[in-house]
Structure 1
Amino acid sequence: MNNNSKPASYPQVGVASTCRSYEEYCAMFNLEDFDWTKGPVLDVAGGASSFTSQLHARGVKAIAADPFYKGPTEDVIAAAHKEIEVSSAKLAANPGVYDWSYYGTPELHRQGRERSLALFSEDFRSADADTRYDSASLPHLPFNNDTFGLVVSSHFLFLYADAFGEQFHADSLAEMMRVLKPGGELRIYPLVSLRWEECPYIPRLLHELKGVAKVEYLSTGLPFMPVPSSLLRLVKQA
């Protein structure tokens, strides 16, 4: 940020379906040294990000879950293109409040979104796309207990705290812990809402997970928002 005051809330209607890359996920979730052999990966609220397709290309079993995937393939892809247009315009209207140390400039930010969407689109059009993209939505996931070695959720939980209440978040955390293998990890970022304030009920939610998960706060490798936020790492106990 270039000023000392908290900026106005981010102008968002509905839930955005953003295009982020494998590289962004690795930086954002501190996954550069993660052992991908630990088991399948689940990206909850993955939107049009290319994380799943890029993991698949590397031979890592990965699934993205998001109600955004409902409907005809080309309609989903067109909606992702529209989201790039809308979000890029919002950023360009007030670029000074964001931290550009990772992306460099708004133009480079948009180019990265477009590259990620191209990778997502190619994979989403493939004949076996339904094995990697599921239109499930929290707080109910259609996966067996103890399935995934890593679950990530970017820019959904806590960010939309005003639209989805505390009980929704409690149920969603419990559901994501359910599908994790013992020893598996859940990583969530950011922990602030669209009003750029830390979600107030996080301590209560984590208290409910006492004995279920080990809680750790990490630094993100992808600062961007007007206010800093930690990365939440939960390790499922045996």
Structure 2
Amino acid sequence: MTSFPDPCWTARAARATSPPRCARGGRATSVDPCYATPAPALAELVRRELDRVTAWTSSQPGRFPLDDAGVWLHASAWQTAARTFLTDYALDRDHGTGHYQAAALPGLPFPGGTFSVALCGFLLFTYPRHFDLDFHLRAIDELLRVAREVRLHPLNDSAGNPYPYLTQFLSELQTRNVDYQLLEVRGQSDPRDTLTLRLTRS
């Protein structure tokens, strides 16, 4: 996970597995409804999700790079990240470090301006059939309430298609005095995920 010198907040889909410790200093807090789950049960959920993602990626050789055995090239890295995450999560449950908070957008249990950066990956834009435009806008309002800067990635849905309401979404942001930048990036998991959205208040 990218680290920041100031506190940072990360939100992710349930299958994400990166630990929220900032390796070069600072503090990070990760938020997900699944963090209400005891460590053994969450470990089983992560195992099932890794199996599902591995099968899903292997079924799409034209989209994801596969090895000679037909397995996604990033599967091993995700498995390593999962083990690191689960070890850190278990420590948090035992010692109450507060790195993992059970909550969900668009309502976060933090005072305004708590964090320097909020990172939200593979949640917003990823599931347009489940989360409508209004949900996205309320989520952004909440993220910008608790953080000075917000970064969202990717801007595609789970099928790799561009978010269909992006133009309307960006227009709505301007009416809310939100500045945005579209940053070109190299997609690590999916070669189509080449854009990250950076948001700040005007």
TM-score under structure 2 normalisation?
0.86
SS in 1 for 2:151: strand
RMSD: 2.2
**Is the aligned partner of 1:43 residue 2:10?**
yes
**Is the aligned partner of 1:164 residue 2:131?**
yes
Q: Given the alignment, which residue of 42, 45, 48 partners 1:76? A: 42
**Is the aligned partner of 1:216 residue 2:184?**
no
Match of 1:4 in 2: none
Match of 1:113 in 2: 78
- Paired residues in the alignment total 195
Distance between the aligned counterparts of 2:105 and 2:177, measured in 1?
19
Match of 1:236 in 2: 201
Q: Identity across aligned pairs (percent)?
A: 26
Q: Is the 8 A contact 1:149 1:185 kept in 2?
A: yes
Relative to structure 1, is the Cα distance of residues 231 and 161 closer, same or farther in structure 2, using a 3 angstrom cutoff?
Answer: same
Q: Which has the higher contact order (CA 8 A, sep 6+)?
A: 1
SS in 2 for 1:217: strand
- 1:73 maps to a residue whose letter is A
Q: Is the 8 A contact 2:125 2:154 kept in 1?
A: yes
- 2:169 maps to a residue whose letter is L
Extract unaligned runs of 5+ from structure 2: none
Residue 111 of structure 1 and its aligned partner are, at CA, apart by 1.1
Relative to structure 1, is the Cα distance of residues 115 and 224 closer, same or farther in structure 2, using a 3 angstrom cutoff?
Answer: closer
- 1:117 maps to a residue whose letter is A
Between 1:200-209 and 1:72-81, the stretch displaced more is 200-209
SS in 2 for 1:90: helix
Match of 2:20 in 1: 52
Extract unaligned runs of 5+ from structure 1: 1-21, 27-33
SS in 1 for 2:155: coil
Q: Deviations over 1:30-88 (max 9, x none)?
A: xxxx7x22x211001264422403x2x54321000011212222101110111111110
Match of 1:8 in 2: none
Distance between the aligned counterparts of 2:64 and 2:43, measured in 1?
27
Distance between the aligned counterparts of 2:161 and 2:179, measured in 1?
24
Residue 228 of structure 1 and its aligned partner are, at CA, apart by 4.5
Distance between the aligned counterparts of 1:200 and 1:107, measured in 2?
27
- 1:166 maps to a residue whose letter is L
Relative to structure 1, is the Cα distance of residues 197 and 64 closer, same or farther in structure 2, using a 3 angstrom cutoff?
Answer: same
**Is the aligned partner of 1:141 residue 2:108?**
yes
Relative to structure 1, is the Cα distance of residues 223 and 120 closer, same or farther in structure 2, using a 3 angstrom cutoff?
Answer: closer
Distance between the aligned counterparts of 1:228 and 1:118, measured in 2?
25
- 1:169 maps to a residue whose letter is H
- 1:214 maps to a residue whose letter is D
Within-5 A mapping of 1:114-133: 114-126=79-91, 127-129=94-96, 131-133=98-100
Distance between the aligned counterparts of 1:107 and 1:99, measured in 2?
6
Distance between the aligned counterparts of 1:94 and 1:69, measured in 2?
30
